Structure 1
Amino acid sequence: MTHEHIDQKVLSDLQEVMEDGYLQLLETFLEDSERRLSQLHEAKDASELGMAAHSFKGSSSNMGAVGLASLCQQLEERVRQQPLYGIEDLINRIDQEFVEVQRFYRSERERVSAG
């Protein structure tokens, strides 16, 4: 996977700091992200969308998912502007990016639990 999706340095630092907690961190991130993604899809208005994007950006950024964090930030900025066009496109891109990210963190999880 290319570096525009994931900042490996953030992950290796996390693994060093968290040690045994790292695996749990990966699990939690994957679960949280699915919940946040559905919040994005179910948001009723711009402020709900903005809040969902903001929290998703934070967790992605903490986990080194830089591509995802950047898309969430774009969405967060976009919802402050009227009219709200181009939102679906951004959410689709977040969906696609999450597929990549999910694949990566799942293999990372397997790597760690095998180790």
Structure 2
Amino acid sequence: MSDIHLDHSVLSALRDVMEDEFTVLLDTFLADSVERLRQIQQALAASDSQTLRLAAHSFKGSCSNMGAPVLSGLCKQLEDIARREQLADAPALIRQIEEEFLVVCSLLQEERQGQKR
């Protein structure tokens, strides 16, 4: 199940490159993601499609870099919706993004715990 949410080959490569800093990378991604989700919510509340598009684009990139393909794909959909200014479609998609982020967050916490052993 976790394989669809996290690409373990990407995480393995990051772990090899980052070595002792891998947990810092995970913590930074998680903290940044919470901030990006907040920006997405604020942009939606303000009906600001440009800010929403930029926040979704930024989140998409970081999710992709961390090996979270489902989350990255959802962010791409949100970016496209914002580009087309179809904000009526955004709330349901943002809920999906938030739910997927919780799954990814949980799986990354497991990765982090495994790193400490």
- Normalising by structure 2, we get a TM-score of 0.92
Counting only pairs closer than 5 Å after superposition, residues 18-29 of structure 1 correspond to structure 2 as 18-29=18-29
Partners in 1 of 2:66 and 2:80 — Cα distance? 21
Q: RMSD of the alignment, in Å? A: 1.1
Deviates more, 1:20-29 or 1:79-88: 79-88
Aligned to 2:112: 109
Matches within 5 A, 1:1-115: 1-43=1-43, 44=46, 45-113=48-116, 115=117
Any stretches of 5+ residues in structure 2 without a counterpart?
none
In structure 2, give the amino acid aligned to 1:63. M
* CA–CA separation in structure 2 for the residues paired with 1:90 and 1:59: 18
Higher percent of residues as helix: 2
Identify unmatched segments of 5+ residues in structure 1. none
Query: What are the superposed Cα offsets for residues 34-93 of structure 1, whole Å, 9 maximum, x if unpaired?
Result: 111111111120001001101101111100011110100110011111443211011000
Q: How many residues align?
A: 114
- Give the letter for the 1:88 counterpart: P
Q: Deviation above 6 Å: which 4+ runs of structure 1?
A: none
TM-score, structure 1 normalization: 0.94
